Amino acid sequence: MTDERLRQIAGHGWLTGWKAIASYVGVHIDTAKKYKKEFSMPVHYLPGGTPMCLPREIDIWAIEYSKRAKKPS
């Protein structure tokens, strides 16, 4: 996806910035960053480093993560 296309879609249903992402997930900003780093939460970056994601992707990630976490060893 081109940088221009990413700029166009930011704000059209996308969560843009750590504050918006953390608010959607219901956690502190630092926790959202931890989820991205340690648990592969799906976050994309605009040119310049602004994080963004689709709520749908977060929902799917949360469901899949909870399924993996509940599996017996």
Query: Quick one: CA torsion of 7, 65, 38, 25, rounded to 10 degrees?
Result: 50
pLDDT of residue 61: 94
Pairing verdict, β 44-45 and 51-53: antiparallel
Q: What is the pTM of this model?
A: 0.77
If you average pLDDT over residues 24-47, what whole number do you get? 95
**Do residues 15 and 54 touch, judged by C-beta distance below 8 A?**
yes
H-helix or E-strand spanning residue 31: helix 29-39
Q: What is the three-class DSSP state of 15? A: strand
Categorize the per-residue pLDDT at 20 as very low, low, confident or very high, splitting at 50, 70 and 90. very high
Q: Which two tokens stand for residue 6?
A: 């990413």
- Structural domain boundaries in the chain: 3-70
Give the mean model confidence (pLDDT) for residues 53-67.
Answer: 91
44 vs 14, residue with greater confidence: 44
